[in-house]
Structure 1
Amino acid sequence: MRTTTICLAQHIGRGFRFQWHLKNKRSIPSSGAAEILAAKGIKICDPKDILSPPYFTYADVPLRQEVEEEELEPAKRPCFVFHERYSPPAGMAQAQHLTNSIVRSTLPQRVLDQMKDNTEEEDLKVQEVIRHSQLMDSHQEKLPRFDDVVNRPGWKFPREWGSPVSRRNKQMSYKLQLLLDQLLPGYTNRHLITNTNSQVSLEHSGRLIQMKYKAPLVLISSNPLSAVAEEDEILASEGESLPDIYPFSPFLHCKKLTQYSDKEFDCLATRRLFPHTLFFHMDMPYSPHNDDTFGGLTLMKAFGHAAAYAKSSLKIEKGNLETPLTLQVVHTTGKKFHIGVFQLNTLDLCGPRKNFFWHLPREALFDACKFKGAEANLEGYNPRIFSLLRALHLQ
């Protein structure tokens, strides 16, 4: 065994203390200014004799200025604010209580009737859209650092460059809509708007709640979607009860705020157009939500946008809408898609009349899309998702 010498081994703490001790002993050299002034007959005074007060200490300075009570603005009414970072711990059942909605574990029959098998050419085009949005985007950003705490704890992986998750999701939804427009060219009265926000305040069991959500893409149309549930079914829903979540509260894990914006706005700036399909994206590398919580998020976001639009544009009588508002929603993580249809019947969140939400369990569009042998490789493609998207587009 060969011995080696340790070169330049230094103790940082000991070196700092040595330098502190060495510099502390240094004296301030005289510049000779005092002697020059004294030789010219100029009197030198001590600053303490001139300044009044001469010095102050930090203890004499208040850390925060005291404000009189009458100068303070009156506090707003406490509000439960539900936003993008909130997820319902009790899942879909909690979202049903917050939105006063009944959930059906299937899509409306008129949507299922429009489903048909894709042709081989259509599947190839969808696969090309997936490859381009996931791998072949020329946009490059510094991506978040990847940590593998199970296999390599404490190891810092090198930073990677590429397209962020939010851009990949938006590119995929946008290109799938372009593909649908190419395959179904008859729908020329529709438009696609991006980066919309909705914010609405409502009453719920004597409390004030606010829902503020974003929609990266919204498909709008000049004609509204017709109601799925007729008046007889809406009246029959008054006898149905919501699932029991006792001992939990519908406001579980949502804090009351006194500082918030009380403005209300919806995703559209004009009243001549109507929302058709909303696209929501979960822009996270790994989705921490199970299927039940993910479905609850979809329901809450759909209700937030529908309530904001209805409150600003539709006629409401005693909390109930004269004409129900129907929206289609697509909530995706990039791989998995959750598709549903929401019908808003009432804004009375504690009344007997209920809203409706039809949905299917979320499914994966593909299993993996990555480079393999310098070639873009797509694994586990599921054609059923595009068939569902086409059925929604045909409504």
Structure 2
Amino acid sequence: MPKITELRGLFKPFTKPLHRQWKYVWQEKGKFNEPKLTLPKALNGRQLNIIDPLHDPDPNALPDESTPWTSPTRHPMFEYLVPPLPREQHPLFHHDQPVFLFDSKTKLHAGVDQACLLTKAIPFYELPQSIKQNLDKISIPNQDDLIQSYIRQSIAYDATKEHLPRKSTPLKQHRSFRIEYGIPRSRQMSILFENILHLCESLGGRYPDLFKRHLYRNTPFYTTYERYGEPIHLRNKNSYVLTSHTPLSPIVKRLNKLEISSGEKNDEKLSTHDPDGHYLMKGNDYQFLNMYPVYPTIDLQPEELYQDGDELGWRQRKTNEYVHTTFYVSNDELIHESTTDERLARMVMFAFGSALVQARQQYPNGNLIKPVTVQSVFLLDELFHFVVFQLNTLNYNETNDNRYNYVWIDKDNYMYDNRPSMVMHNPVYGTERNLQRYVLEKLKYNPDVFQKFLALYLQGIQGKKE
């Protein structure tokens, strides 16, 4: 125990504040013990220049400051330490050939007609005859009751309760609403779509070819092609992509009879007995949109940072995989952000891009021997759009080529009705809970939409298990 004389002067109660007493003790009795530099055992015996931070550094041990330091990996956490590269030094920058970018945010003011002009396609506003024939042939036991239960689950029976976005009022009325918690619209659509897809997969016992398919989610997609002498770059992120081990058979197989017209001297036998003749005659009557003096790429933004080549979003396996159907689940916050014509134009462009990449992989020499067919489905709440695209030619700039691509569009298919929109303030229902009760009580289900979805899903199956 220290003596009183040793403690004298250390603390003087009632004379100085406590912090001043500690300062006095440090000045009088404080000592600084310099720590010794210790090296790990792994560094012993190596010829390394060790820099002691407590002493002046050795100038020979410091790195040369004339060479700038560059980060080995550009991690987002350390981006503030690394200056961004100039635009001209970016690895994806193209000096000589900028392109026109078409992505999920691009809006074509002429809609489907402008998209058909960019893809050299002739539209038919109906489902193909080969798909219509299979609408009522295949059914699942209790499918209507199951679909209605899926709809109720997506709207009210899911346990997810998240902070919903604030409601807005028209005409910029300054009103405040209570914070609501419920199922987000994106999750509602994903629940409904995935349950419908699982119901279609339940037919694998009758159709074994369904077990050979693969489903990919959130896959990147991009490709580049040239139209009217201008390069166009398609880029998107597919929500779901369904692939099959065999490609889809073309809808129109006879492409060498395009000289047939729909006038008085048409071939009646071809138009009545041949299913291809109906589309060939309609294709001859179609007139492409005349946008002169405006170029069809007026709505596309020029881009100099893009990736060359083609990308479908998955690695090639040992067995061949072909695009069967692409699914797009809309992420629009407002249902009126885009018109129906603008959404259909995007579907036509991206379906064309998927068919183009598949054709380039099947026929690297550029000679398209057999048409390539790709299907596409769009989902926004209870609204479904169906698109079937058939790629017949890879010559987009030759005026002498009389072959055109075909696209079938079936739009505005509502799986259920009587659902008011709650994005805007609705004084009748008020809250999201009242909306859920209304949908559960007064749901009007349309069974025809699922039959179309099932017919598209089962398109291309080979054999039936007996």
TM-score (norm: length of structure 2) = 0.63
Corresponding residue of 2:130: 110
Corresponding residue of 1:199: 222
Secondary structure of 1:362's counterpart equals strand
In structure 2, which of residues 379, 393, 408 is the aligned counterpart of residue 346 of structure 1?
Answer: 393
**Larger-Rg structure:** 2
Deviation digits for residues 62-81 of structure 1 (CA, Å, limit 9, x no counterpart):
xxx9x99x989873522100
Give the superposed CA RMSD.
Answer: 3.0
Does residue 1:326 correspond to 2:373, yes or no?
yes
Q: Distance in 1 between matches of 2:457 and 2:167?
A: 37
Distance 1:83 1:294, change over 3 A: same
Q: Which residues in structure 2 correspond to 1:207-356 (within 5 Å)?
A: 207-232=230-255, 235=258, 241-270=287-316, 272-284=320-332, 285-311=334-360, 313-318=361-366, 320-351=367-398, 352=401, 353-356=403-406
Does residue 1:160 correspond to 2:183, yes or no?
no
**Letter paired with 1:336:** L
**Letter paired with 2:444:** G
State the Cα distance separating 1:157 from its structure 2 match: 2.8
State the Cα distance separating 1:143 from its structure 2 match: 2.9
Q: Distance in 1 between matches of 2:211 and 2:389?
A: 24
Corresponding residue of 2:449: 385
* Contact kept? 1:267, 1:309, Cα under 8 Å: no
Q: Distance in 2 between matches of 1:100 and 1:373?
A: 44
- Larger deviation: 157-166 or 367-376? 367-376
Deviation digits for residues 10-56 of structure 1 (CA, Å, limit 9, x no counterpart):
xxxxxxxxxxxxxxxxxxxxxxxxxxxxxxxxxxxxxxxxxxxxxxx
Distance 1:346 1:167, change over 3 A: farther
**Letter paired with 2:387:** G
Secondary structure of 2:143's counterpart equals helix
* Contact kept? 2:155, 2:436, Cα under 8 Å: no
**Letter paired with 2:295:** S
Secondary structure of 1:297's counterpart equals helix
Deviation digits for residues 310-338 of structure 1 (CA, Å, limit 9, x no counterpart):
33x210545x5222211111112121111
Distance 1:310 1:176, change over 3 A: same
Secondary structure of 1:195's counterpart equals strand
State the Cα distance separating 1:175 from its structure 2 match: 1.0
Secondary structure of 2:235's counterpart equals strand
- Larger deviation: 71-80 or 301-310? 71-80
Distance 1:181 1:310, change over 3 A: same
**Letter paired with 1:202:** Y
Q: Distance in 2 between matches of 1:332 and 1:101?
A: 23
Q: Distance in 1 between matches of 2:442 and 2:316?
A: 41
Distance 1:306 1:166, change over 3 A: farther
Distance 1:172 1:234, change over 3 A: farther
Corresponding residue of 1:35: none
Secondary structure of 1:346's counterpart equals coil
**Letter paired with 1:177:** L
Corresponding residue of 1:4: none
Distance 1:221 1:361, change over 3 A: same
Corresponding residue of 2:276: none
Corresponding residue of 2:190: 170
Identity %: 28
Deviation digits for residues 365-390 of structure 1 (CA, Å, limit 9, x no counterpart):
11245754974445222111001011
* Contact kept? 1:79, 1:258, Cα under 8 Å: yes
Q: Distance in 2 between matches of 1:194 and 1:248?
A: 38
Q: Distance in 2 between matches of 1:111 and 1:74?
A: 44
Q: Distance in 2 between matches of 1:71 and 1:173?
A: 43
* Contact kept? 1:198, 1:308, Cα under 8 Å: no
Corresponding residue of 1:24: none
* Contact kept? 1:170, 1:216, Cα under 8 Å: no
In structure 1, which of residues 138, 147, 153 is the aligned counterpart of residue 168 of structure 2?
Answer: 147
Number of positions where the alignment pairs a residue of Structure 1 with one of Structure 2: 326
**Letter paired with 1:299:** V
* Contact kept? 1:114, 1:394, Cα under 8 Å: no
Corresponding residue of 2:12: none
Secondary structure of 2:211's counterpart equals coil
Larger % of strand: which? Answer: 1
* Contact kept? 1:76, 1:259, Cα under 8 Å: no
State the Cα distance separating 1:255 from its structure 2 match: 1.7
Corresponding residue of 2:73: none
Q: Which runs of 5+ in 1 are unaligned?
A: 1-64
* Contact kept? 1:226, 1:326, Cα under 8 Å: yes
Secondary structure of 2:325's counterpart equals strand
Deviation digits for residues 262-303 of structure 1 (CA, Å, limit 9, x no counterpart):
353113422611111111122224143333223212211211
Q: Which residues in structure 2 correspond to 1:115-134 (within 5 Å)?
A: 115-116=135-136, 121-134=142-155
Distance 1:218 1:297, change over 3 A: same
**Letter paired with 1:225:** L
Q: Distance in 2 between matches of 1:341 and 1:214?
A: 19
State the Cα distance separating 1:340 from its structure 2 match: 2.0
